[in-house]
Amino acid sequence: MERIIIIGGGFAGLKLARDLKGTDNEVWLFDKNNFHQFQPLFYQVATAGLEPSSISFPLRKVFQDHKNFHVRVTEVTGIDPAKNSITTPIGEFTYDKLIIATGATTNFFGNKIIESNSIPMKSVNEALYLRNKILQNFEDALSVSEEERQALMNIVIVGGGATGVEVSGALAEMKRCILPKDYPELDFKKMNIYLIEAGPKTLAAMSEESSAKSREYLEKLGVNVWTDTLVKTFNGNEVVLGNEKILPTKTVVWSAGITGNIIKGLPETSVAKGNRFIVDRTNLIQGCTNIYAIGDIALMKTEKFPNGHPQVATVAIEQGKLLAKNIKNKTAEPYEYSNKGSMATIGKNLAVVDLPRWKFQGFFAWLVWMGLHLFLILGVKNKLIIFVNWLWNYFTFDASLRLIIKPFKKPL
């Protein structure tokens, strides 16, 4: 019996662990959270469309019927390949095979000021924090001067990828249909939503048609889309752009890039640009004999993808599935990604979809986007809750989840 340790309960780690069910191996899953979180819908938590619980699923519930399976909620702080062990705050654990599936985190490109003051969107906690921040800003806007009110009502989103586009579209719909009913004393014509992208277009990874259409949809919703524009700094009150233009705001959502969640201990030669482990076609890390990396943290260069595979859920799930198969069958089948397309939603009835042989936008694309995400969500109950929420929001445009939930602090 081998002891297999998996670090990370995201798409890759979860798929690997689930597919190892029924083997004689002793499987350990380590994660900082006791739940799997569905990242593509973080923006809906941030904009009060869904509750965090509906896009999260307890890890222990997933593995209730798995034999020889152990979950530990802790952070892995180091790896010692010579001793075949990992270090955590709760002790040291040895392994026969180690799989790193720690995913990626927000990349602030070394700008500590922006990192301190802006809000990333890489966890349920951050999405919930953004929801609290937005709603509290409007509460505060009711009792301040006009100048202070403008900063509270302006929202800046940095990064024109899928996250930035989806957050911008959802906020624009809140501005148009929900917030004026909640705060009738405020003039929402003065609320500005800015989507700022350093490159020449939004959704740069998608086709020209989808990129152009996403911008058209956003501008139709009232979002100020600024491309070829850099953000220099944000001090918590003002955004300074590369052209020295200043935007008063209290809220900056940072979705401009990602970097791998590296764990110390492996050879530096195995780490590539972007903090990704260099792996071979079986996801074995370069310079290692029994340590693998899968998902966003893995950089696998192939003839079709010389710069590595895209950091998307499909790749993570497929790599987890194949590695489980190789472990069970004691084989070394190589991985290759077949691009199945990409998609993004901008708002009600507005989405863009790129399939290998077909590209389409609008209402049908929006239905396809919803169908795929419902399919990928764990748990029948979660699927039902999300579907009911979407149905209710579609016909009423009045989600009832606008709660400011703050962490409890016990008085000293």
pLDDT in tens, 13-51: 999 999 999 888 999 999 999 999 999 999 999 998 899
**Which domains are assigned to the chain?**
3-106+258-329 (3.50.50.60), 112-256 (3.50.50.100)
For the cut 70, the answer to whether the pLDDT of residue 399 exceeds it is no
Q: What's the whole-number mean pLDDT along residues 221-232?
A: 97
Find the range with the poorest average confidence among 160-164, 190-194, 339-343: 339-343
pLDDT of residue 395: 82
Dihedral, 173, 176, 177, 179 alpha carbons, nearest 10: 100
Q: Read off the tokens for 295.
A: 């998902």
pLDDT of residue 407: 75
**Angle of helix 124-141 versus helix 146-153 axis, rounded to 10:** 160
pLDDT of residue 400: 64
Ordered DSSP codes for 107-128: --TT-HHHHHHSB--SSHHHHH
3-class SS of residue 13: helix
pLDDT grade for 412, boundaries at 50, 70 and 90: low
Tell me how crowded residue 198 is: count the other CB atoms within 10 A of its CB.
17
The residue with greater pLDDT, 99 or 401, is 99
Tell me how crowded residue 382 is: count the other CB atoms within 10 A of its CB.
18
Given a contact cutoff of 8 angstroms between Cβ atoms, the answer to whether 346 and 169 are in contact is yes
Given a contact cutoff of 8 angstroms between Cβ atoms, the answer to whether 299 and 266 are in contact is no
Cα–Cα distance for residue pair 389/386, rounded to 1 Å: 5
Picking from 93, 87, 36, the residue whose alpha carbon sits closest to that of residue 70 is: 93
For the cut 80, the answer to whether the pLDDT of residue 193 exceeds it is yes
Cα–Cα distance for residue pair 278/4, rounded to 1 Å: 20
Helix (H) or strand (E) holding 351: strand 350-355
